[in-house]
Structure 1
Amino acid sequence: MSEGRAGCRDQTLLWLLDAGAISCAALDAYTAWLGEGERQRCARFVRAGRRRQFIAGRALLRLALGRLLDLAPRDIVLRERPGLAPALDTPAPEGVGFSISHSGPWVACAASTVSQLGLDIERIDAGRDLLALAEQALGPEDVAELRALAGQARVDAFHRMWCLHEARFKLGSASAADYVFAQPGLALALSASRPLTPAPPPLVVTLGELAAG
């Protein structure tokens, strides 16, 4: 890691969290970090699991941005944008990028001072009609590749392709570098507007409370 612009560390963080392992007391503490718009959105979720997922994702994002910007997580101000990812309202050097994604109890966050990012995670589910989904969302070359595969090879390839498709979409611009990660039962892809160093960035998996240090 190098120290770059004042108050900003030049690095990229990639964190994966099991939100189901967070205690209710800790979740209440993270809720206090939310802004008014985030609290209003959180209150509209009917399912408790979705509320937990949302709070954990915003807490993870604040911890990552706080680490990069040398700020306390509660000092990170995020603004809700209907249908879009949140915007960072805390003053930050140009070029800071971030992305969050969730699937089931899992929440992932990527944040960087050197690149814009798009991130996607998916729980691997062999029970879905993968070819039908691929024909709706992926390109003909990807569909042809999937048709040539069978069994677990097709399942793994589909989820890799799907995550890459979603990560590039979230990036919102041409991807200069794509990184694919595998965790038990999960697929994860990260797209970046600039190649990252190290490549791929290390994936840190957290199975419990989030540390604010």
Structure 2
Amino acid sequence: MPSAVILLHDANHLADDQRDRFLACLSEAELLRYRRFVRPVRQREFLLGRILLRFAAAHLAGAAFDAVQVTERKSQAPLIRLPAAVAPHFSLSHSRGWVACAASIDTALGLDIEMLDPGRNVDAIGRAAFSAAESNWLSSRAAQDKVADFYALWSSKEALFKLMSSQGSEAPLPEQVAAGMRLRSGPAWHARTWVQHGLAIALCSRDRLYPVRRICLSGASPAAWLQQLNGS
């Protein structure tokens, strides 16, 4: 039964001493890339994303956190290696200081998170970014649901793009609305969506997932996160 885990963390309040504890976990190549980011928020998102990736891989493989090796690759997702274990499929995402990592031993994944913004003109964005069928579906949604529905569709499309890219597919992105209804699956893809901590979360997988655990890690040290994961 294919399963997955999503780890989330709010990196907006990362103090300098907490940041340094996490930086000590990165490789030289990762540190070099970290320093290239100009905006502090992007530095935090990159840093905590790489730490979440290590924790997710170690958690699923039953390995030690420091046994996970991460190799940077130009214009590609990082490569992870584990001693005597198969590295999981994974996908990373970030939005306004929040970071997330989805991982699965069983199936390829694509993850997207987006901070909900009720002030955006979602109908106008939908007309510009969505297909006619998708835009018409959004326009038909009730006013009180429209922002959440927009982000669910937007994030699902982003997550599906990541899933397809992870498998080397260059096919056009499939429509996600048919006969006036939003689709949640298609050939070789299945979508799940949630709203949590003001975030729209979308996870697309090659195979249908059953348990999908979502764990929001608090605290700001590897030891604190490990304790939470062990108790989850």
TM-score range, shorter chain: 0.7 to 0.9
Bigger Cα displacement from structure 2, 176-185 vs 119-128 = 176-185
Q: Which runs of 4 or more aligned residues in structure 1 lie more than 6 Å from their structure 2 counterparts after TM superposition? A: none
Aligned equivalent of 2:135:
143
| Deviation for aligned residue 1:127 | 2.4
For 1:13-58, what per-residue CA distance to the aligned partner results, in whole angstroms no more than 9, with x for missing partners? Answer: 1111111244432321211221222111100111112111111111
Distance 2:210 2:201 in 1: 18
Letter of the 1:204 partner, please give it: I
For 1:139-170, what per-residue CA distance to the aligned partner results, in whole angstroms no more than 9, with x for missing partners? Answer: 22210011223533221110000010001011
Match runs of 1:12-161 below 5 Å: 12-90=4-82, 96-149=88-141, 151-161=143-153
- On the 8 A contact 1:176/1:195 being kept in 2, the answer is yes
| Deviation for aligned residue 1:69 | 1.9
Distance 1:145 1:121 in 2: 21
- On the 8 A contact 1:167/1:191 being kept in 2, the answer is yes
- On the 8 A contact 1:97/1:111 being kept in 2, the answer is yes
RMSD: 2.3
**For 1:152, what is the secondary structure of its paired residue?**
coil
Letter of the 1:205 partner, please give it: C
Change (3 A) 1:175 1:120: farther
Aligned equivalent of 2:217:
206
Q: TM-score, normalized by length of structure 2?
A: 0.78
Distance 2:111 2:98 in 1: 13
Match runs of 1:152-171 below 5 Å: 152-171=144-163
| Deviation for aligned residue 1:188 | 0.4
For 1:115-138, what per-residue CA distance to the aligned partner results, in whole angstroms no more than 9, with x for missing partners? Answer: 111000000112233233223332
Q: TM-score, normalized by length of structure 1?
A: 0.84
**For 1:163, what is the secondary structure of its paired residue?**
helix
- On the 8 A contact 2:12/2:97 being kept in 1, the answer is yes
Structure 1: state its 5+ residue gaps. 3-9
Indicate yes or no: 2:190 matched with 1:177. yes
Structure 2: state its 5+ residue gaps. 168-186, 228-232
For 1:154-189, what per-residue CA distance to the aligned partner results, in whole angstroms no more than 9, with x for missing partners? Answer: 211100000100010111155432111111421000
- On the 8 A contact 1:130/1:155 being kept in 2, the answer is yes
Count residues with an aligned counterpart: 203
